[in-house]
Amino acid sequence: MAQCHIAQVAELEKICFADPWSEKSIASELENPLSYWLVALEGSTVAGYAGSQTVLGETDMMNVAVRPECRRQGVAEALIEGLIAGLKERESHCLTLEVRDSNAPARALYEKLGFLEVGRRKNYYRNPGEDALILRKEWTL
């Protein structure tokens, strides 16, 4: 992700999430040495993005989103696979994420990519309130 993508990522946040990140918060990720964000482009349009932060070799995927008209075309899968490849180069050994319990399409994708359920966060999401499943994928360096 580069500075020129921030406005589109913020727009996509508003489309995809009830509690979106602000443009300022997204921009701050470019300055954070712990952060690693990728965008998928369709021409000059951001079709999707994935953002993460790594501390001591363990990475948390904070957000992943794909434009509604670009879904079911492999964009999220490519972003997550690209994220994992980049994280391996940065010497991270795992990726953890939260997903809404009711988000069956996302859960199916994460299962396909080898993520395992390792826990649950009660009432993690707002608007509407819902539990989050904690999923994790580990690899050797």
Q: How confident is the model at residue 126 (pLDDT cuts 50, 70, 90)?
A: confident
Q: What is the mean pLDDT of residues 60-82?
A: 97
Q: What is the pLDDT of residue 98?
A: 97
Q: Which of 98, 124, 125, 130 is catalytic?
A: 98
Q: What is the mean pLDDT of residues 107-112?
A: 97
Does residue 141 carry a pLDDT above 90? no
Residue with tokens 């727009």: 11
Q: How confident is the model at residue 128 (pLDDT cuts 50, 70, 90)?
A: confident
**Cβ atoms of 38 and 82 closer than 8 Å:** yes
Does residue 68 carry a pLDDT above 90? yes
Q: Which of 91, 110, 117, 125 is catalytic?
A: 110
| Active site (annotated) includes residue 69 | no
pTM assigned to the model? 0.93
Q: How confident is the model at residue 18 (pLDDT cuts 50, 70, 90)?
A: confident
Structure tokens, 114: 């080898």
| Active site (annotated) includes residue 110 | yes
Q: What is the mean pLDDT of residues 3-27?
A: 96
What Rg do the C-alpha atoms of the chain give, in angstroms?
A: 14
CA-CA distance, 39 to 79, in Å (whole number)?
Answer: 7
